[in-house]
């Protein structure tokens, strides 16, 4: 029993450490954890074998696949191929192989009253147990389920992209081979007929194995195999996750009139989504459904060369927003109102319930939005203060602000005991007012915009690390991409926002090695007065002096939509995003 306990612990260690490779383990271990392959432990049966639950210490569970042993179903060559395939694949959207067993022994048995030698062979695979089983098929049950379905489709595509990137072709992708874990994360399983190619573009001719209805026509007709065969199967899977059509009926319906088919299914989903979505959320969810339907149609193209790759499909889905937070509950009246003359800018503290305001009068003010208390204002300058920002992660400086004479104020504060303490002033841009400030995600740099240029200063000694050229247009606002330390956007009075990338590895006398030419320009009808990155949604928000807020994709810089100006609004002085 001691040996079995040791083997069980070995399997537990493999299960808990995703970096450990699958090991060959003895038959006795798998007989022990499956109660000698009891029928009560069966969780699935298929053409290649039976899957059992295996129980380990501390209520941990694994799946044990006992393969059928005959030359028609599986032989040693195909078993070794599956083991080799699964040992190489480690991805959250692919079922992980933990162990395997190759067992062979000769026994004497009685046959017609005589003792004869018989061979006992077992081929077993031990995998992570995926509790929710195969994905469910069918059309729109209710709008609330759409976000889960969308994430499942994205996960399947990501898993398939990973498989193809490692040179594998699955050849039997179908809902029964896509399992959901307790977090509803899809995992691709069953590599029993997968093929490995060193070159992902390689094609080969093979005799048919697979599941009809999911198999590409070039594979059925000519035995031609490439990773585009999996893409065809993916199209069927997506259709079955979105519609009520199955198999040949699905294929026939989709081929009759592609556009009509998409619109018909989209109308069904739109009706279902209206029960749980409104406004922008409904618009974007409907767009997501349409995108998935059109992806599936492309996957089912008879010409394999016109089908997209799994990577291209994943990229399309990654650019599709999940914007369900864009329609917040709106109170009938304001919870709290404070009036400030000539408000210039706002900043939200990342961890405290504070809002920092900068005023035309030269004051900065802090609000506690939990207690609704306005903390004592502090006069920084006789000149207007157009922007003030929190700087976290540096013990010396807590607030940085800039005035209309080009002076940068670096301050720390203890509002309760000492009030605001002005620590340091830096002449950043003599005679040129500091219009806006932005702090990069690592808190290492501050981006300043004046009326005609931009510059970057570090937060250690506040020296200038980069100063851009002078622009003939007025620079009105600048902000960092808060998702990555690699880009920033600058708004101009002519209605354009230019996006630059920068390299923050110090080089020569510059703290910032290089700032590239603008990689994108976003055009607006009005002058830009505010910009904001929202990394969770991968979008850029921009506000203009005509009161319009525009939403852009932060990856492709393409236009999404605009929110019309409020009746009483003349311009957007700032945009705050709390996620």
Predicted confidence (pLDDT) per residue in 309-362, tens digit: 999 999 888 766 444 444 444 545 554 454 555 778 888 887 778 888 888 888
Domains and their CATH numbers in the chain: 2-128 (3.30.200.20), 143-318 (1.10.510.10), 343-533 (2.130.10.10)
pLDDT, position 340: 56
- Residues 442-451: tens digit of each pLDDT: 767 788 887 7
pLDDT, position 482: 58
pLDDT, position 120: 76
Residue 372 — left, alpha, or beta (φ > 0 → left; ψ -120 to 50 → alpha)? left
pTM of the model as a whole: 0.56
Distance from C-alpha of 322 to C-alpha of 537, rounded to nearest angstrom: 7
3-state secondary structure of 4: helix
3-state secondary structure of 356: strand
Distance from C-alpha of 171 to C-alpha of 281, rounded to nearest angstrom: 37
| C-beta of residue 400 within 8 angstroms of C-beta of residue 437 | yes
- Residues 215-225: tens digit of each pLDDT: 888 888 888 88
pLDDT, position 345: 82
Binding site for ATP: which residues?
65
Instruction: Name residue 559's beta-bridge partners.
Output: 552
pLDDT, position 424: 77
Catalytic residue positions, numbered: 172
Measured CA distances, 319 to 61, 239, 324, 454, 563 (Å): 36, 20, 15, 30, 20
Distance from C-alpha of 170 to C-alpha of 178, rounded to nearest angstrom: 12
pLDDT, position 329: 47
Residue that wins the pLDDT comparison between 317 and 395: 317
Res 263 pLDDT > 60: yes
Q: What is the mean pLDDT of residues 135-144?
A: 64
- Residues 364-383: tens digit of each pLDDT: 888 887 877 776 677 888 88
Binding site: which residues?
65
Percent above pLDDT 90 for the chain: 20
* Helices first, then strands: H and E counts in the chain: 10, 34
Residue that the structure tokens 């074998």 belong to: 49
Res 393 pLDDT > 90: no
| C-beta of residue 326 within 8 angstroms of C-beta of residue 281 | yes
Contacts of 287 (CB under 8 A, 6+ apart): 320
Q: Tokens at residue 79, please?
A: 């078993």
Q: Tokens at residue 343, please?
A: 């408000």
Backbone angles phi, psi at 309, to 5 degrees: -85, 165
Res 233 pLDDT > 60: yes
pLDDT, position 417: 46
């Amino acid at each position: 029993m001691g040996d079995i306990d040791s083997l069980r612990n070995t399997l537990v260690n493999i299960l808990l450490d995703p970096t450990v490779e699958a090991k060959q383990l003895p038959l006795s271990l798998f007989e022990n954890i499956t109660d000698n392959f009891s029928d009560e432990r069966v969780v699935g049966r298929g053409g290649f074998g039976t899957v059992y639950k295996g129980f380990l210490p501390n209520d941990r569970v694994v799946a044990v696949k006992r393969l059928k042993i005959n030359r028609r179903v599986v032989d040693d060559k195909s078993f070794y191929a599956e083991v080799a395939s699964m040992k190489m694949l480690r991805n959250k959207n692919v079922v992980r192989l933990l162990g395997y067993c190759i067992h062979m022994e000769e026994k004497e048995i009685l046959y017609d009253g005589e003792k004869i030698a018989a061979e006992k062979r077992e081929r077993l695979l031990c995998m992570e147990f995926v509790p929710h089983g195969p994905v469910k098929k069918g059309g729109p049950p209710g709008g609330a389920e759409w976000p889960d379905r969308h994430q499942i489709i994205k996960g399947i595509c990501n898993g398939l992209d990973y498989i193809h990137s490692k040179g594998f072709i699955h050849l039997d992708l179908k809902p029964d081979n896509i399992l959901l874990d307790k977090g509803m994360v899809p995992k691709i399983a069953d590599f029993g007929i997968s093929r490995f190619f060193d070159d992902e573009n390689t094609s080969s001719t093979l005799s048919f194995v697979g599941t009809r209805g999911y198999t590409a026509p070039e594979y059925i007709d000519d035995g031609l195999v490439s990773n585009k065969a999996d893409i065809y199967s993916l199209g069927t899977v997506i259709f079955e996750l979105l519609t009520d059509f199955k198999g040949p009926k699905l294929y026939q319906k989709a081929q009759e009139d592609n556009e009509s088919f998409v619109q018909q299914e989209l109308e069904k989903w739109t009706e279902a989504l209206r029960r749980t979505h409104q406004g922008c959320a409904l618009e974007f969810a409907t767009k997501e459904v349409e995108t998935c339907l059109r992806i599936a149609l492309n996957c089912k193209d008879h010409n394999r060369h016109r089908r997209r790759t799994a990577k291209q499909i994943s990229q399309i889905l990654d650019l599709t927003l999940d914007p369900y937070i864009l329609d917040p509950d709106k109170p009938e009246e304001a919870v709290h109102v404070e009036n400030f003359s000539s408000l210039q800018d706002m900043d939200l503290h990342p961890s405290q319930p504070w809002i920092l305001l900068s005023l035309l009068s030269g004051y900065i003010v802090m609000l506690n939005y939990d207690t609704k208390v306005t903390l004592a204002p502090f006069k920084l300058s006789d000149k207007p203060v157009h922007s003030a920002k929190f700087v976290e992660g540096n013990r010396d400086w807590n607030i940085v602000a800039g005035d209309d004479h080009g002076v940068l104020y670096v301050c720390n504060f203890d509002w309760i005991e000492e009030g605001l303490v002005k620590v340091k002033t830096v002449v950043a841009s003599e005679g040129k007012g500091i219009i806006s400030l932005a702090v990069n995600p690592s808190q290492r740099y501050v981006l300043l915009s004046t009326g005609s240029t931009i510059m970057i200063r570090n937060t250690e000694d506040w020296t200038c690390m980069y100063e851009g050229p002078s622009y003939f247009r007025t620079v009105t606002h600048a902000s960092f991409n808060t998702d990555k330390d690699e880009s920033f956007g600058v708004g101009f009075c002519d209605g354009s926002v230019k996006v630059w990338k920068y390299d923050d590895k110090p080089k020569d006398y510059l703290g910032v090695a290089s700032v590239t030419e603008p990689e994108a320009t976003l055009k607006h009808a009005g002058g830009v007065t505010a910009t904001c990155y929202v990394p969770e949604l991968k979008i850029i928000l921009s506000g203009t002096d005509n009161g319009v807020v525009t939403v852009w994709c932060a990856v492709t810089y393409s236009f999404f939509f605009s929110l019309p100006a409020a009746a009483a609004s003349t311009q957007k002085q700032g945009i705050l995003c709390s996620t």
